[in-house]
Amino acid sequence: MEKISKVRGTEDLLFEDTRKWHIIEKIILDVATKYNFQELRTPIFEHTQLFVKGVGETTDVVTKEMYTFDDKKGRSLTLRPEGTTGAIRAYIEHKMFGYDNQPVKLYYLGPMFRYERPQKGRQRQFNQFGIETLGIKSAQVDAEVILTGLEVCQKLGLKNLKVLINTLGDNESRENYRNALIEYFKQYESQLCSDCQKRLYKNPLRILDCKVDHDKEIMKKAPLLKDYLSAEADAYFNNVLDILINLEVEYEIDNRLVRGLDYYTDTIFEVVSLNKESGAQSTLFGGGRYDGLIASLGGPEVSGIGFGMGVERMLISAEIENPSLFDENYLDLFVMPLDSAVQNYSFKILEQLRKMDIGCDMEYFNKSLKAMFKYCERNKIRYALLVGEQEQANNTFILKDLVNNTQEELSIELLSTVKERIENNA
Ligand code: HAM
């Protein structure tokens, strides 16, 4: 019979993988909590219009990459391609702008879907950890968002990275810039790809982010936003940079950074991995401020800022830069019945150990001692608890420390001391 395989661009995470994910997820949750972000869980699918309005109708994400389908009542729904717009929808729907605790600081962690060409670090179903701080515009908050992401990198042991930062300015700056871009690109209209020809008058900023036109000579000479910044937007950006300098955060200003989603204003940033082995997809996390998004989706005129972090990409980098992060063993002890007659006695001990919160398992196949030790070695289990007919008769057990290669026979009454021994040697 023909086998049905997984969908291109999706992954099964097997046991070794999920263990690594748990380690990364724990670090992410600890950092988010420490910085006072609270978890928001929104649905995996939303009304298509939310993303069209929020992300922007001329973006690649909306025009080419969304998984959109009609439900049985003919409503157009879309699997979320990113987390910000859904979070803002929930913020407005639940009137979070009225909460006593302001600004609202939220995070999310979960799958996103984009129909992109799969390659290392780029999937069609991928996971994002994202944070958003809503209801305030403040340079400290801009810095805080970047620092939260960098702290996750640091806790994962990632050092080989670069912070790229730029500003898209306020509405006035962008309007001036928009006009300058139209003036510039209309001279070269025929050299632009067909998508960019459509974008020229609608959304010329998107041309700068086009994957097709990216390397063309005309891109290099395009006007830069920094030359159109209002005094206010310039001062705001410089304040953000000052804070980063004061905190000794190294960054590089990238005047050509625009990001691929339409909602950004003022500060934008991307943190890229410099590991060659990470593949072409090197942006670990990226984000920025959005002044108009919340109002455009029906909320109040308040500002927000956040980032989205690709968890798969963080994992790839951690495997390269800090493989020992994943060395953690999950079982402390393995119970080894030396004879089939002692299986029940062994099983009772096993259950008693579990009640003491010791991570343990036992051999059910009556395997040889050699095979059982091999199992411990393979699974990095430090302690073996051996029981034979003699131990059963004497109400004892043998505890073997496989690292120090020592062993002792203990009375069953001393089973409760096993936990202490494990903890003392941890
Ligand atoms: P984004 O740059 O589109 O921003 O995505 C953020 C991160 O998600 C990327 O830097 C990358 O690590 C990861 N990512 C994106 N697409 C893929 C893919 N196909 N496969 C694997 N990883 C991927 C956003 O999504 C914004 N919502 C971020 C944001 C939050 N801005 C403000 N708040």
What is the band of 393 on the pLDDT scale with cuts at 50, 70, 90?
very high
- What pLDDT does residue 261 have? 92
- If asked whether residues 264 and 378 sit together in one domain, one would say no
- What pLDDT does residue 4 have? 97
- Report the interhelical angle of 139-155 vs 231-246 (nearest 10°): 40
Domain containing 369: what range?
A: 330-424
Q: What is the 3-state secondary structure (H, E, C) of 196-255?
A: HHHHHHHCHHHHHHCCCCCCCHHHHCCCCHHHHCCHHHHHHHHHHHHHHHHCCCCCEECC
Atom of ligand 1 nearest to the CA of 284: 12
- Whether residue 59 is contained in a domain is answered as yes
Structural domains in the chain (count): 2
- Whether residue 5 is contained in a domain is answered as no
Q: Which of 50, 91, 134, 261 to mutate to test the pocket of ligand 1 (most atoms within 8 A of CB)?
A: 261
Atom of ligand 1 nearest to the CA of 283: 10
Per residue in 249-279, pLDDT (tens digit) is 999 999 999 898 999 999 999 999 999 887 7
Per residue in 156-187, pLDDT (tens digit) is 999 999 999 999 999 899 999 999 999 999 99
Q: What is the three-class DSSP state of 406?
A: strand
Please check the confidence at residue 202 and state whether its pLDDT lies above 90: no
What is the whole-number distance in angstroms between the Cα of residue 285 and the centre of ligand 1?
Answer: 7
Residues with CB under 6 A from ligand 1: 82-84, 114, 116, 121-123, 126, 128, 130, 132, 260-261, 283-288, 306-310, 312-313
- What pLDDT does residue 182 have? 93
- What pLDDT does residue 214 have? 78
What is the whole-number distance in angstroms between the Cα of residue 259 and the centre of ligand 1?
Answer: 10
Per residue in 25-45, pLDDT (tens digit) is 999 999 999 999 999 999 999
- Whether residue 334 is contained in a domain is answered as yes
What is the whole-number distance in angstroms between the Cα of residue 368 and the centre of ligand 1?
Answer: 51
Q: How far is CA 124 from the centre of its chain?
A: 15
Task: Name the DSSP letter for residue 120.
Answer: T
Q: Which of 88, 126, 131 to mutate to test the pocket of ligand 1 (most atoms within 8 A of CB)?
A: 126
Last residue of a domain, one of 283, 303, 325: 325
- What pLDDT does residue 184 have? 94
Q: What is the mean pLDDT of residues 362-372?
A: 96
- What pLDDT does residue 19 have? 95
Atom of ligand 1 nearest to the CA of 81: 25
- Whether residue 257 is contained in a domain is answered as yes
Atom of ligand 1 nearest to the CA of 83: 27
Distance, CA of 43 to CA of 260 (rounded, Å): 23
Nearest C-alpha to atom 2 of ligand 1 is from which residue?
A: 286
- If asked whether residues 282 and 335 sit together in one domain, one would say no
Please check the confidence at residue 155 and state whether its pLDDT lies above 90: yes
Please check the confidence at residue 425 and state whether its pLDDT lies above 80: no
Please check the confidence at residue 248 and state whether its pLDDT lies above 90: yes
pTM for the full model? 0.94
What is the whole-number distance in angstroms between the Cα of residue 334 and the centre of ligand 1?
Answer: 42
Q: What is the mean pLDDT of residues 50-58?
A: 95
- Whether residue 40 is contained in a domain is answered as yes
- If asked whether residues 377 and 279 sit together in one domain, one would say no
Atom of ligand 1 nearest to the CA of 84: 27
What is the whole-number distance in angstroms between the Cα of residue 83 and the centre of ligand 1?
Answer: 9
Distance, CA of 39 to CA of 105 (rounded, Å): 9
Please check the confidence at residue 375 and state whether its pLDDT lies above 90: yes
- Whether residue 119 is contained in a domain is answered as yes
What is the whole-number distance in angstroms between the Cα of residue 376 and the centre of ligand 1?
Answer: 40
- If asked whether residues 240 and 156 sit together in one domain, one would say yes
Question: CATH no. for residue 350?
Answer: 3.40.50.800
What is the whole-number distance in angstroms between the Cα of residue 332 and the centre of ligand 1?
Answer: 38
What is the whole-number distance in angstroms between the Cα of residue 61 and the centre of ligand 1?
Answer: 11
Distance, CA of 48 to CA of 16 (rounded, Å): 36
What is the whole-number distance in angstroms between the Cα of residue 245 and the centre of ligand 1?
Answer: 26
Please check the confidence at residue 371 and state whether its pLDDT lies above 90: yes
Question: CATH no. for residue 85?
Answer: 3.30.930.10
- If asked whether residues 24 and 153 sit together in one domain, one would say yes
Distance, CA of 301 to CA of 136 (rounded, Å): 10
DSSP 3-state helix, strand, coil percentages of the chain (rounded to 5)? 45, 20, 35
Please check the confidence at residue 67 and state whether its pLDDT lies above 80: yes
Please check the confidence at residue 241 and state whether its pLDDT lies above 90: yes
- If asked whether residues 318 and 334 sit together in one domain, one would say no
